[in-house]
Amino acid sequence: MDIWGKVLEKLSSDLSKPSFDTWLKNTTVEWDEDELTVFAANEFTIDWLETQYSERIGEAVKEVTG
């Protein structure tokens, strides 16, 4: 499993299934040096992830990558 898969696995255990399925399930990422860019289906989802989940995503990435 790749790093993002592990991050998603961690987030899926922290969030309700409807929340995870709505906001994170279909995301993809791109790694560039030390920067992670999350891609989603539309701008609304991207905005929601930035305002509601960016801290959680960052914490999960740190947990997975050490």
Write the single-letter amino acid at 54.
Answer: S
CATH code for position 56 = 3.30.300.180
Residues with Cβ within 8 Å of residue 44, at least 6 apart in sequence: none
Under DSSP, is residue 36 helix (H, G, I), strand (E, B) or coil? Answer: strand
- At residue 12, the pLDDT reads 97
In which domain, by residue range, is 25 found?
3-65
Please state the domain count of the chain.
1
According to DSSP, the residues that pair with 30 across neighbouring strands are: 37
10-residue mean pLDDT series, the chain (66 residues) = 93 97 96 90 96 96 92
